[in-house]
Amino acid sequence: MGETADVITGEDGLARPPWAAVDPLLREYYDTEWGMPVRDERGLFERVSLEAFQSGLSWATILRKRPAFRAAFDDFDPDAVAGYGDDDVTRLLGDAGIIRNRAKITATIGNARATVALRDDPEYEGLAGLIWSFRPARTPEPRTFADIPTTSPESVALAKTLRAKGFRFVGPTTMFALMEAAGLVDTHLLGSHRRGSSGVW
């Protein structure tokens, strides 16, 4: 492997950041998912949920548990999760396949209810409309990891708006990570083979 300016060139000749260069699961996620536009309600609800569970943990941990999370939370169908009650919380707390954090579990259920409620919101007409309304006019152009921000004015505003709509575990840093993952900003390093691949920028 070759290495220059915070990217690592793999045996396939493609340049990736170190976090995506070694672990096969992370490499596949980086090459095929991370930074690609997500515009559907279920997809964005899943990402909001997983970003909340990731708080304080590594993304690799969450990605390895994603199949179990999907099974446990009805494939992140907001209508199904919004209907969860105390028995479901108990079930989820007993599921070793996911992160068994009561606050994050109850927040996910509450966030599902907030997602359903947003469908009737005349301003945003749903979770996707709300999140994408905070897409910035410009995206960062990082050459090194030190150039990549962890928040932005838009992620601060998005977090504030989501909290006002009843969402929890949606701080500015978590929402910036969501914006990166869902294609609202492109923080692929300029030297990465994925830079500009979303079609948004």
- Name residue, tokens 């949606």: 170
Catalytic residue among 19, 59, 124, 201: 59
| Residues pairing with 8 in the sheet | 3, 16
142: tokens are 């990082």
Q: In whole angstroms, what is the distance from residue 94 CA to residue 114 CA?
A: 25
Catalytic residue among 41, 51, 154, 180: 51
Residue 3 bears catalytic tag: no
CA angle 52, 53, 54 (to 5 degrees): 90
Catalytic residue among 29, 33, 124, 201: 29
**Helix 172-181 with 41-54: angle, nearest 10 deg:** 130
Q: In whole angstroms, what is the distance from residue 161 CA to residue 169 CA?
A: 13
If you count DSSP H runs as helices and E runs as strands, how many of each does the chain have, helices first?
Answer: 9, 3
CA angle 97, 103, 105 (to 5 degrees): 40
Residue 29 bears catalytic tag: yes
Catalytic residues: 29, 51, 59
